[in-house]
Structure formats: C-alpha cells, structure tokens
Amino acid sequence: MKLRALGRLDGAPWRGVAALTARELGELWESFRFRAVLAVIVLVMTISAALNAAHHHAEAGARPEILERYAEEIADATVGSLADVPHPAIKPPWRLAFLAEGQQRQTPNVYRQALSAWEVPVFESRHRGDERRHETEPLDWTFVMRTVLSLAAFLLGYDAVCGPRQRRLLELTLAQAVERWQVLAAKLIAIWSCLAVPFVCGASLSLATLALFGLRLTGGELVKVTLVGALGLGAAVLFVAVALVVSARIREANRSLTALALVWVAAVVVIPAASGLVTPLIRPLPGEAGDGGVLAPEETSDWRPPEWAAQDDYALERESARVHNRQFEAAESERRRRVEAQLGQAALTRWLASASPMHLVQESAERLAGSGQARDRRFVAEAWAFREVLAAHVRGLDRGDPESPHVEFFSRYLSSRPAEAEAVPRFTFDEISWAAGLRLAAVPLAVLVVLTLVATAAAFLSFERFDVRGAP
Amino acid sequence: MNHTQTNPPKPVIEAIDLSKRYGDGSLALDALNLAVRPGEIYCLLGARDAGKTSALHLFLGLTSPTAGRARVGGVDVAADPREARRRLAYVMENVAFYDTLTAMENLEFFAQLGGRWRVDAGELAMAMRSVGLPERAFRLRVRHFTDGMRQKLGFAAALVKEAPAWLLDDPLAGLDPQATAELVDLLREVRQSGKAILLATQDLFQARELADVVGILKEGRMVLTTTRADLRYTDLEATYLDYMRGGFSSLVEAMA
C-alpha cells in the first residue's frame, strides 16, 4: 500500500472505495449466503433471548423458596442455635445470561455454611431443571460471536479475492483507476457490513424479546450490552480479515473454503478441547485421599452438659472448642484450597483455549459482562467473607448475654436468648460493574486488537502481492 | 501511419527495456522495447505464454517490472500506476462483468472506477450502440449475455472511459465472424479517433488486417518488429511460423 495514495485529499480514493463497497454489498446482499447468515444470526439471537429470559424467571423463582425455608429455620432460633443453622449465600440468577452465560448454570450457586465447627460448609448447584439432562451449548451472544459470526465471515469471505480472480473480474477491476487497497478495503467493509447488519438486527430483537418477557435492563447492564455488542462488531473485523488473508493467499475458491473450514474447526473445536485435556496434566487438582479426618473432626467426649460444665467454667469445653475450631480452620483451609485449585484449573483451561481467537472473544465478552469465572470467583470470595459477617453478628448477640459461656460457636454453650430473625444478616451479591468488567477484559481485548491489526495488515499485504492472473 | 515524418507524435504507450521475471524464476518478458503513437495499432503477436499478457499487465501496473520502464501518456506506471490506468482502457479475452447487473449498470460502475464519476445514460447507450449491442440488451442483466455480447460490452466500457490508450488482450478470440467483423470496424474507428492501441493476439489475420506495427514475441523476447508498409512485402504467416519453429530465414528475408 502506498502512503502517497492514501494521502490524497481530493476525495477520489474514498469515492472509489464507496463505489466498490456499494458493488460488493450489492453482490453479497443478492446472494443466498448472506440471506442464510442473516436468518441464522437473527434467529439464534432472538431464540437465545427468549430461552434465557424464561430460564431467568425459573431461576428467580427458585431463590425465594430457599430464602423462605431459611426464614422458617431461623424464625424461632436462639443466638446459640444460629450457630447450627446453615446460612445460605445465593448467587442470584444471572440476568445477562442472554449476553454471556459464562457457565453460570453449571457452576455452584448456593453456599451453605453454619458457624459451628461440626457443620461442613458446602457449595451446591441448585439450578432449576433436570440435572441429569445434558445441557447443550448455551445460546447467548457470545455463542453467536464465537461460532456463528466467525463461520459466517468465512462463508462470506472465502472467495472474496480468489473468486473474482477466477472469473477474471478482479483483473478488469484492477485495470481501472483504483488502488489495490481500495478494492480490499471495499471487500472488508462490505463483508463486515453483511455481518454487522444481522448482528445488530439480532441484538435489537434480542433486547426487544427480553423486554417482552419483562426483563428490564438497568443502565449499567445496558452499558455492558453495548460493550459486548461492540466487541462482536470488532471481532467480525478480525474474522473477515482472516478470511481475506486466506482468500488472497490461496488462489482457488474451493481450496480457500477448505482451508477456512479447517481453521474454524481448529479454533472452535480442537483448541478448546485440547486445552481441556492438557490442563489437568499441567495443573492437577489436590488429591482428596487422607483428608477425611481433617475435613470431618471427630466428636470427642469432652463435651458435658452445660450445668456440669459450668462448675469449672467450661474448661474442658473451651479446650475442646479450641481444638475443634483449629481442626475446622485446617479443614476449611483445605476445602478453600481445593476450590481455588478448581478455579485455577478452569482459568488455565481458558488461558490455553485463548490460543483460539474465537475463544479469546468469548473470554473478553464474559469479562466485559461480568460473567464466567470472574463472577464465580467473586461469589466464592463473598460467600467466604459472609462467614465473618455472620460470626460478628452472633458474637455480638452472644456477648450481650452475661449468662452465656461464650464458647464459640457451639450452640449449647452460647446464649440461649431468642435471636431476632430479621436482624440476621443476609447475603447480598454485588455484580461486577461494567467499569470493573472493562478492566478485567483489558488484556484479552488488547490481544484481540493486536490480532485484528495484524490480520488486517496481512490481508492488505497479501492482496498487494496478489497475482491477478486468472484462468483464461 | 507515416513514420517518415520529421517530428512523429510522442508515444502514448512506451516500453523501455521492460523485463519481468516471476517468483518461480520464469522469464516472462525480456527487455521489451516498443512505442505506440496516437492513431496507431501496435500488434503484439505471439503464441500463448509468449509474454503478451505479462506485457499488458506491466502497462496496467498489475504486476511490477523486474527491470525497465513502462509509460502511458508520459506517466511512469511504476511511479503512479493509478494515473497510468486512468489513461488506459483494457479489453481482454472472455471479458468478465458483474452478472447481477445490467449492461448499463456495469458500464456506469466501470466508468466510475475509471475516474468518470458523472456519465449520463445517453452516453452509455451511445457506446453500446457503437459496438453493435441491440437496444434490448441495455437493460438486460449480463448473466443473459452471449460471449459475443460480453466482448462488445467490454469494448463499450473502453469507449466510455475515453482513455487515450487501449490495451487489448486477444479480445476477438472465439467470437463469431459477424461480431469479429463489427469489432474490427470499431477498432479502425477508434484508431481514426487518435487512440493508441496495443493489441496482443495470436491471430495472424487480425494482425495483418489491423496493425500499423507488428511485433513478434517469442518466450518473452521481441524477435521481430515490422510496419504496415513492410507487411505489404512480407509473408507474415510464413515469417511468424518460422519464428515459432525457431528459424531465421524469414527474419533475414524480412529485414532485407
């Protein structure tokens, strides 16, 4: 590409691009390929919105059931019995599942923890639906961006350069007073437009469908939707550029299509699958053998009825509590280490899968939306932190009772005063803000920008050197 | 054309030691020198792979020369290929157009790409009439055109471009005799209008009928150049075939 040609200010170069783009668009819009792409993208995005809105309603319905049961459990509780009650921390139904589901339907969404060292805290998956039924790939915008947009870009662009070359149309075009960069820019813009129009239409219908289902998005959520939508449009540039590189490097349309099909299968199927296989070898999870004793402390005989224990100011019980609490801390530390290891393994899988640009798009979209592993990590961290809030509350109530032996947190040796159910702190989950999501996505977004620039430059360079000689 | 003038017009199409070697090492063109003046048809005669199309591509800036220079209307193609192409009309064998567009739309589109942003429909219609396309074809999608009609449309596009130089790559190959005759007449008219025409062909009869200058290319080298005046005394067919066989007797005869 010659900078001199780019620098012309008489407007003619851009008029040339406009004329060529209009022609390319005309060719594409009349093609079956474009209509198929339009139908698939719009249909998938609309259906995904309907499915996710319905799913959200179902999930939202499950949440009050858990909270009502919990309210019943603590309705007549004493301060002491609050230590034995499993307090639920619920990850709320993911409102932006239509945007980036991020495996929120598979990962645990309830954490139950009692303050007593006897009770083992557990993460549970309490999702609506038949758990034995294998969930297929969740339909969301990221699915469209990663899978459909990339495939559509390849289908629309595989013969963008080599097709006209074979028909000798490229020779006639380049014999006119146009520069090569103008021709390729027109192709890039036209193919991108043929992806952008269906994507924007699908996104609009998707949002309209959500509104029909009564899911009103907040301002912050709309910002996230906009950011992910912009990411989709940006990713389309990358996919089109890749298609143009292949089309310019391979001189026959059928071979170009085959090459792009292989690229797509490798990027969408093989690389993610391989990363899933490799991860446990690189970063295995800690074994469970031998930690049973640590995770479940044995009940000892050092617990006496309170009236007996009061005689020596609960000396044995205090010592037993100290031992049990220490055991619990050790076991809890081990449990948390395992959860951290699982999250780390999942992160490594994602990192390896990011060798595929399609999965890099997925990762960026999930981070922008505040979904995926970032949301899971936040839930785990907040659920663990919730224990301290509960402990502080029960401790405060217990300290207010001079008759309590204050053996934390063993219900029989804590205050027997009634606890005010409404005052018991409830778990609240703060979703990741769009600004925080943007910060989280900065690195994968930067990589995507670099990839897009490299692919676009490669497309232009390949076309500059492209031999237009076609079949006579 | 009379080349005995003391001040012949400046060449519109000019090659100076123009060479092209492709990446695979094959030498397509070896130090080509030629000059086509206004109102002149220069016929590059040669077999397939003789380097004719490579020469035209070098003038169009579609490929860059390994050595030498190509000029169109005084513009160095390597220095400003876009400006050079603005001065060139190109018609090739089996010319391709957008099948989904009508003849009129195709002409308008390629006129725009050629730098003519405002062309009225009357001018387009006149160009199509000039090449012998029937009126009903003007608004017909090109996918319904015969090969002959496509070639005529190619010539119409060249007319609309109003370029001072024409490059023709075997544009009459495979056409029926009537279409060929019509387009040959058209080329004579174009020559009369002062255009410089470089015609690459392997058709001896066309060369004899149309050319003011004939250059025979063999394996990228110009092995003989002869003028219309010389052609009267030369058996072009025999000379050409001799060259293709690698003989030199005709060269001596022609030069004599």
By DSSP bridging, strand B221-227 and strand B75-76 are unpaired
- Note the pLDDT of residue B256: 44
% helix, strand, coil for chain B, step of 5: 40, 25, 35
- Name chain B contacts of A1, Cβ cutoff 8 Å: none
Whether A177 sits inside 8 A of B93 (CB atoms) is: no
Of A15, A27, A168, the CB nearest to B92: A168
- Structure tokens of A19? 């004329």
- Structure tokens of B190? 């174009």
Nearest Cα of chain A lies from the Cα of B85 at a distance, in angstroms, of 5
Nearest Cα of chain A lies from the Cα of B97 at a distance, in angstroms, of 6
- Residue A191 burial (10 A CB sphere; 0-12, 13-18, 19+): buried
**How far apart, in whole angstroms, are the C-alpha atoms of residue A212 and residue A216?**
9
Of A23, A169, A177, the CB nearest to B82: A177
- The better pLDDT of the pair A67, B237 is held by A67
Query: Which residues on adjacent β-strands are paired with residue A110?
Result: A90, A124
Whether B60 sits inside 8 A of A169 (CB atoms) is: no
Q: Give the confidence band of A153 by pLDDT, cuts at 50, 70, 90.
A: very high
Q: In this structure, are residues B138 and B123 in contact, taking their beta carbons and an 8 Å threshold?
A: no
Among the listed residues A198, A403, A168, the one whose alpha carbon sits nearest the alpha carbon of residue B169 = A168
- Structure tokens of B216? 């025979």
Only one residue has tokens 């003011």, namely B212
Whether A172 sits inside 8 A of B110 (CB atoms) is: yes
- Name chain B contacts of A20, Cβ cutoff 8 Å: 113
Q: What is the pLDDT of residues A72-118, one digit of tens each?
A: 999 989 999 999 999 999 999 999 999 999 989 888 999 999 999 88
Nearest Cα of chain A lies from the Cα of B220 at a distance, in angstroms, of 17
Among the listed residues A24, A469, A183, the one whose alpha carbon sits nearest the alpha carbon of residue B93 = A469
Check pLDDT > 80 for residue A128.
no
- Name chain A contacts of B62, Cβ cutoff 8 Å: 171, 174-175, 468
- Structure tokens of A11? 């407007």
**How far apart, in whole angstroms, are the C-alpha atoms of residue A453 and residue A466?**
20
- Note the pLDDT of residue A472: 43
Q: For chain B, give the mean pLDDT.
A: 88
**How far apart, in whole angstroms, are the C-alpha atoms of residue A152 and residue A33?**
8
A&B contacts, CB < 8 Å: 70
**How far apart, in whole angstroms, are the C-alpha atoms of residue A394 and residue B126?**
96
Closest chain B residue to A164 measured between Cα atoms? B96
Nearest Cα of chain A lies from the Cα of B233 at a distance, in angstroms, of 34
Whether B100 sits inside 8 A of A173 (CB atoms) is: no
Nearest Cα of chain A lies from the Cα of B244 at a distance, in angstroms, of 22
Q: What is the pLDDT of residues B187-241, one digit of tens each?
A: 999 999 999 999 999 888 888 889 999 999 988 999 888 887 777 667 777 777 7
Only one residue has tokens 């609960």, namely A314
Q: What is the pLDDT of residues A191-233, one digit of tens each?
A: 999 999 999 999 999 999 999 999 899 999 999 999 999 999 9
CA distances from B9 to B40, B138, B143, B187, B196 (A): 11, 37, 42, 20, 11
Whether B100 sits inside 8 A of A177 (CB atoms) is: no
Whether A23 sits inside 8 A of B109 (CB atoms) is: yes
A461 Cβ contact partners less than 8 Å away, ≥ 6 residues apart: A1
- Name chain B contacts of A178, Cβ cutoff 8 Å: 82, 85, 113
B118 Cβ contact partners less than 8 Å away, ≥ 6 residues apart: none
Of B85, B92, B109, the CB nearest to A177: B85
Among the listed residues A114, A123, A126, A54, the one whose alpha carbon sits nearest the alpha carbon of residue A87 = A114
Q: What is the pLDDT of residues A18-27, one digit of tens each?
A: 999 999 999 9
CA distances from B153 to B31, B57, B142 (A): 34, 21, 9
**How far apart, in whole angstroms, are the C-alpha atoms of residue B256 and residue B252?**
6
Lowest mean pLDDT across A125-139, A163-177, A433-447, B117-131: A125-139
DSSP letters spanning A100-138: --TTTTTS--EEEE-SSTTSPPEEE---SS-TTSPP-PP
- Residue A468 burial (10 A CB sphere; 0-12, 13-18, 19+): buried
Give me the amino acid identity at A339.
V
Nearest Cα of chain A lies from the Cα of B111 at a distance, in angstroms, of 9
- Residue A450 burial (10 A CB sphere; 0-12, 13-18, 19+): exposed
- Residue B127 burial (10 A CB sphere; 0-12, 13-18, 19+): buried
ipTM of the predicted structure? 0.89
Whether B62 sits inside 8 A of A16 (CB atoms) is: no
Whether A172 sits inside 8 A of B53 (CB atoms) is: no
B163 Cβ contact partners less than 8 Å away, ≥ 6 residues apart: B86, B87, B88, B89, B114, B195
Domains of chain B: 9-87+165-175+194-256 (3.40.50.300), 93-162 (no CATH)
Range A307-323 average pLDDT:
85
Check pLDDT > 60 for residue A11.
no
Nearest Cα of chain B lies from the Cα of A51 at a distance, in angstroms, of 40
Q: Give the number of other CB atoms < 10 A from CB of residue A199.
A: 26
- Note the pLDDT of residue A4: 43
Q: Give the number of other CB atoms < 10 A from CB of residue A316.
A: 15
Of all residues in chain A, the percent with pLDDT exceeding 90 is 72
Query: Side by side, which strands form the sheet with B221-227?
Result: B88-92, B165-169, B196-201, B40-45, B213-218, B221-227
Whether B92 sits inside 8 A of A172 (CB atoms) is: yes
Check pLDDT > 90 for residue A41.
yes
Whether B62 sits inside 8 A of A173 (CB atoms) is: no
- Structure tokens of B11? 């060449």
Q: In this structure, are residues A142 and A364 in contact, taking their beta carbons and an 8 Å threshold?
A: no
- Chain center to CA of A181: 37
* End-to-end CA, chain A: 27
Q: Give the confidence band of A298 by pLDDT, cuts at 50, 70, 90.
A: low
* End-to-end CA, chain B: 21
Of A30, A164, A177, the CB nearest to B113: A177
- Chain center to CA of A296: 34
Tell me the residues of A at the B interface, defined by beta carbons under 8 Å apart.
Answer: 5, 12, 15-16, 19-20, 23, 26-27, 30, 164, 167-169, 171-179, 467-469, 472
Half-sphere exposure of A157 (CA within 13 A, CB side): 36
